[in-house]
A and B are shown apart, each in its own frame.
Chain A
Amino acid sequence: MVSLIPQPHPRERRIIFENISRPGWSNDIETYLAHGGYEQLKKALGMQPAEIVDAVKAANLRGRGGAGFPCGVKWGFIKRDDGKPHYIVVNGDESEPGTFKDRYILHNDPHQLIEGILIAAWALNVNLAYIYIRCEFPHAAKIVWNAIKEAKARGFVGKNICGSGFDCDIYVHQGAAAYICGEETSLIESLEGKRPYPRIKPPYFPAVLGLYMSPTIVNNVETLCHVVHILRMGAAEYAKMGTPGDGGTRTMCVSGDVVRPGYYELPAGAVTLGELIHDVCGGLKPGRKLKAVIPGGSSAKVMRADEVYKIKTKAADGTMVEKEVAMLDVVMDAASLASVGTMVGSGGVMVMDDSRDMVWALNNLNQFYAHESCGQCTPCREGSLWMSKVTTRLLTGQGAANDPATLLNVADNIAGRTVCAFGEACAWPTQSFLAKFPEEFAALAESK
């Protein structure tokens, strides 16, 4: 068990983290059953599979792994009766800097995940599922594996689940410390025992040609947990918690320069960035001013504290009007963050105050991406290293006057030119830090 379980802030609504916040909560199956565990699975087994897929669609559940693809639409790609084997692969590789929500689910509430997997398995006609857990969570792998055995002993996993005639086995698969394996096609290659170079889409969309070249759904840990609550609450009630197109609650992982970092669960769109930082997280450290926020994991484009965005919105009469929105007034949901040019991503909010040097921060991220590039595509393999070298030399006083331009040129030549989204993930920090804080880069380049 992970020790730190802070009590919810009054603005929170805990659904995913409800169990783990209970006093005396334990991750064993008896505790889970005592709080209504596996009741939604029993309900699901009495439903038509298509009904479940429709419910997930109607709930407006978006994937919680980073890309934010509508989960029900993804599930809809699986043709239940095409005669092929189907697989579910759970992405528990949680490696995006700033993100740490799945850690708590895997360690403290594994049965919630298992129930979600089984509901999905019934809906999608899946008899074999793998939970891919990064090896830096050694206890999580043991806890989840033990939970699978507990569920199997109770007839929830394995043959003839709850007497329904439906079979599904679940296994844990451990990664080996490679960030790229969080990319779904890389994860599949890794699970197949190959060097995990991402596959190119098309044609290798997992729902068509996934694990073992069969239709496969890859879902994030948290995403599958939400499915349990969609069935429990009903799709309409669940969707109502969020905003149109972004249903339910969102777990927010806040780190960096705030008084109370940690995880929070809020209805999608319930708070603005300012409310999240100043109200929920207790504001900045004494005497400090906000400088920048990375709102959705390290790959999301950085936001500058004094920025005012011009957002186009629909007025009451249907015409498009331009509205000015200050950075702290941006609403924390998928559409709002997208409209200001960044993303809600995996929910990792990294806060930086005025004591932070933006070139230093970018250099830290550039070193991360240089280390994690898988090396398959030349622009990313070479470019991520060059970006890291350039920011390092700027910081050590060895930069050249045109280094900011060089940096941008390298980033611009990675994004859009690689097999997978890692290209964008490593280019966006450089592009956005340069765009938002040009004076800090220029000062270092010219100080020579």
Chain B
Amino acid sequence: MAKKSLNIVESAYRAVIEEQDDTILWLVAAMQAAGGNHSVVLRGNAVNYALAGQGAPALTVGEWQQTQAPKMDRDVADLADNRNVAVYVVEEDLGERGIAVDQLVPNVRLVSRRALPQLFAEHEVICHW
């Protein structure tokens, strides 16, 4: 039986162009596919991952061109919509960054900072990435 695990993701856009994904959201998806039972909290700058309509243009270096540029809103939606991963977004961190709730991809859930202890209590493992 997989342990119910909460993954707090705060570092954002670190190496996402190189890796063509966020390495922690990717890891969560891979672990979920391996039988895990994961939830995600996006906090700090990572709340921006839930903003709909983002995506860097493909990187080009000389004649080399990237063909699979990352789209973090797509990957967040994929976790919530297709992989049975609850994705929470810290609402105060959204507000501090000027992001409105109606700008987010569907199916993410808001959580306040003061509610984090309760969310922690509902999980067996807390991974603060």
Do A and B come from the same complex? no
A residues whose Cβ falls under 8 Å from a Cβ of B: none
